[in-house]
Amino acid sequence: MAYFGKKKDIIRIEVTLGVDIGGTNTVFGYVDSKGRCFTSATIPTNAHQPAEQFFERLHESAKALFGTIQEKCELMGIGVGAPNANYYRGTIESPPNLSWEYVNVVAEMDKYYHLPVATTNDANAAALGEMLFGAARGMKDFIVITLGTGLGSGIVANGELIYGADGYAGEIGHTTVDLKGRECGCGRRGCLETYVSATGICRTVQDLICNSNEPSDLRYVSFENLTSKMIYDAAQRGDRLALEAFDYTGKILGIKLADSVAHVSPEAVIFFGGLASAGDLIFKPTKQSMEEHLFGIFKNKVKLLPSGLAGGNTAVLGASALIWNDLKKNIEK
């Protein structure tokens, strides 16, 4: 039982609490099994503070939010999406942009709830969100690529999210594009996410500025102030340097997706996140490059699709889908 009671004479809607922990803010909300988000809210993560303080603040805020729907809803479980979260161990381990090093998420949540809790990284949560509520409904084999500050990925095969032996499978963003390429935050060189991400496309623009005389409004923006949105806006105006940056980004992504297709033969690759909203600017060069580099038996078989998680609660839907998926599997056992 959770901290609130049930009235036996009222049939309540079953919901889960979906939590997405970011380096700056944490968003959370209550979602039913059909993907309807009843209510959501945001708190600052305060990543410099101890994790125990964060989970106490999260509980107090989530409890207050639940009070607005308590008369009609029953809480069934909690899903937590977070950087470097390990599904098998229920932990967050050395997360970037957080000072926590090692946190047992399940134990922290168990201080306040006696309900099923599951945690995984945000890309895996997004994949489950697409499978239960979004573009991958009805699919058993697909890849989700999250295009944000970095590049995350979640791989589903035969209807199951692939976690691997240690819980960290699916790091397509840290496969190598160039052994002597761009330095990555992980300490290695040439990782895919240094080329294909919001940060990566900004680095590409700077490279193009340094190595060409192509006129562009982007030349007057410092690297510190440059954003992927600026590059998108410039491309929409027909800026040739911005268009070249998108073409280059899509070409590299297509090559690496061709490799991933050879590994798992997905029905579709689904793009999720800010850079994916560039539409054909990223989809067209990626599709062309992927088809060009695919092993012959896979050509013209793999769809590239935008996320089907609409609205402003996509991260909450993904985290909620994580625990709904676990609850469903437990019922089927």
Q: Are 28 and 82 in contact (CB under 8 A)?
A: no
pLDDT in tens, the chain (333 residues): 444 445 555 788 999 999 999 988 999 999 999 999 999 999 999 989 999 999 999 999 999 999 999 999 999 999 999 999 999 999 999 888 788 989 999 999 999 999 999 999 999 999 999 999 999 999 999 999 999 889 999 999 999 999 999 999 999 999 999 999 999 988 999 999 999 999 999 999 999 999 999 999 999 999 999 999 999 999 999 999 999 999 999 999 999 999 999 999 999 999 998 899 999 999 999 999 999 999 999 999 999 999 999 777 899 999 999 999 999 887 776
Question: From the CB of residue 225, how many other CB atoms can be counted at a distance below 10 Å?
Answer: 8
> What values do phi and psi take at 299, rounded to 5?
-65, 140
The answer, as to whether pTM is greater than 0.85, is yes
| Pick among 3.10.450.40, 3.30.70.141, 3.30.420.40, 1.10.260.40: CATH of 138-306 | 3.30.420.40
| Pick among 3.40.50.150, 3.30.70.270, 3.30.420.40, 3.40.50.12280: CATH of 13-128+312-332 | 3.30.420.40
Do 13-128+312-332 and 138-306 have matching folds? yes
Q: Which residues pair with 104 in a beta bridge?
A: 91
Q: Are 117 and 19 in contact (CB under 8 A)?
A: no
So where are the chain's domains? 13-128+312-332, 138-306
pLDDT of residue 133: 96
What does the alpha-carbon distance between residue 230 and residue 218 come to, in Å, rounded to a whole number?
8
Residue 178 in 3-state DSSP? Answer: coil
